[in-house]
A and B are shown apart, each in its own frame.
Chain A
Amino acid sequence: MKKTMMVLALITLGALVLFGAGTKETKAADSDVTTIRWAYWGSGQRVEISQKAIDIYQSRHPNIRVNPEVSGGAGDHFVKVDTQLAGGNGPDIIQVGGNIPDYADVLLDFFPHAGKEINLSVIDPSAIDSGTIAGRLVGISTGVNMPALVYNKSLVERIGAPLPKTAMSYAEFKEYLRVLKGKLPAGIYPMQDIGVLSSNSTPFGYWSRYNGTPLYDAATMSTDVRPADGQRYLELFAEYRREGLVPPADIAAGYAENNADTSMVIAGKAVIGFLWTNMLSGYQAATTDELAFIELPGAAETNALWQPPSQFYAVNKDSKNIAETVKFIDFLVNDPEAAFVLGSDRGTPASSTARAAGSASPADQKVIDYMNVAGPHSSAETDHVPNDTEFNSTLYLIYQRVAFGQITPAQGGQQIYELLLRMIGK
Chain B
Amino acid sequence: MNRKQTDLAKRLVLNLFIIALALGMLYPILWLLGASFKPSNRIFTEVSIWPSVATLDNYREGWRGIGIVGFDTFFKNSFVICILSALANAIFCSLTAFAFARLKFKGKNLWFALMMITLMLPSHVTTIPRYIMFRRMGWINTFLPIVVPKFFATDAFFIFLLVQFIRGLPRDIDESATIDGCSKFGIYTRIIMPLTVPALITTLLFSFLWTWDDFFNQLLYLTSPNKYTVPMGLRLFLDSSGMSSWGPMFAMSVLSLIPAFILFFSLQKYFVRGIATTGIKG
Q: List A residues at the B interface (Cβ < 8 Å).
A: 1-2, 4-5, 8, 11-12, 15, 18-19, 22-23, 26, 37, 39, 42-45, 47-48, 51, 67-73, 76, 80, 83-84, 86-89, 91, 258-261, 266-267, 285-287
Contacts and interface: CB of A to CB of B under 8 A. Distances in A.
B172 interface: no
Contacts of A71: 239
B241 interface: yes
7 nearest A-B pairs in the assembled complex, by CB-CB distance: A286-B242, A72-B239, A87-B135, A47-B67, A48-B67, A69-B223, A89-B135
A84 B239 contact: no
Given A4-B197, A80-B223, A72 B235 contact: yes
B87 A267 contact: no
B280 to A, nearest CB: 24
A258 B242 CA distance: 11
A287 B243 contact: yes
Contact of B242 (A86, A87, A260): A260
B51 interface: no
B66 interface: yes
B240 A47 contact: yes
A83 B241 contact: no
Contact of A286 (B131, B220, B241): B241
Given A15-B87, A48-B68, A267 B142 contact: no
A261 B224 contact: no
Given A48-B67, A87-B132, A267-B243, 4 more contacts: A43-B241, A70-B66, A73-B239, A87-B136
Given A67-B224, A89-B135, A261-B239, A4 B244 contact: no
B156 interface: no
B140 A89 contact: yes
21 contacts: A4-B193, A12-B91, A45-B67, A47-B67, A48-B68, A51-B67, A70-B224, A70-B225, A73-B239, A80-B220, A80-B223, A84-B223, A88-B136, A89-B140, A258-B239, A261-B241, A266-B242, A266-B243, A267-B243, A287-B242, A287-B244
Contacts of B220: 80, 83
B190 interface: yes
Contacts of B136: 87-88
B239 A259 contact: yes
A47 B67 CA distance: 6
B144 A261 contact: no
A5 B193 contact: yes
B189 interface: yes
B236 interface: yes
A88 B68 contact: no
Contacts of B224: 37, 67-70
A11 B89 CA distance: 12
Contacts of B68: 47-48, 51, 68
Contacts of B191: 1
B190 A87 contact: no
Contacts of B245: 261
Interface residues of B, number: 41
A213 to B, nearest CB: 35
B84 interface: yes
Contacts of A266: 242-243
For B66, B134, B144, B191, the residue with the greatest tally of chain A CB atoms inside 10 Å of its CB is B66
Contact of A72 (B88, B143, B240, B243): B240
A12 B131 CA distance: 26
A361 to B, nearest CB: 15
Contact of A83 (B80, B131, B244): B131
Contacts of A73: 239
Given A51-B67, A69-B223, A43 B240 contact: yes
B240 A42 contact: yes
B187 to A, nearest CB: 11
A42 B128 CA distance: 26
B238 interface: yes
A286 B240 CA distance: 10
B168 interface: no
B128 A86 contact: yes
Nearest to B147: A19
Given A69-B223, A84-B223, A44 B135 contact: no
B194 interface: yes
Interface string B226-266: 00000000011011111111000000000000000000000
A122 B138 CA distance: 39
Contact of B241 (A39, A44, A87): A44
A1 to B, nearest CB: 5
Nearest to B239: A72
Contacts of A267: 243
A5 B147 CA distance: 22
A299 to B, nearest CB: 29
A5 B189 contact: yes
B241 A15 contact: no
A246 B225 CA distance: 38
A87 B131 contact: yes
Contacts of A87: 131-132, 134-136, 140
Nearest to B220: A83
For B194, B220, B224, the residue with the greatest tally of chain A CB atoms inside 10 Å of its CB is B224
A423 B67 CA distance: 39
Contacts of A84: 135, 140, 223
Contacts of B243: 260-261, 266-267, 286-287
B194 A1 contact: yes
Contacts of A83: 128, 131, 220
Contacts of B142: 22-23, 26
Contact of A86 (B131, B194, B223, B241): B131
Contact of B193 (A8, A39, A68): A8
Given A15-B87, A88-B135, A4 B242 contact: no
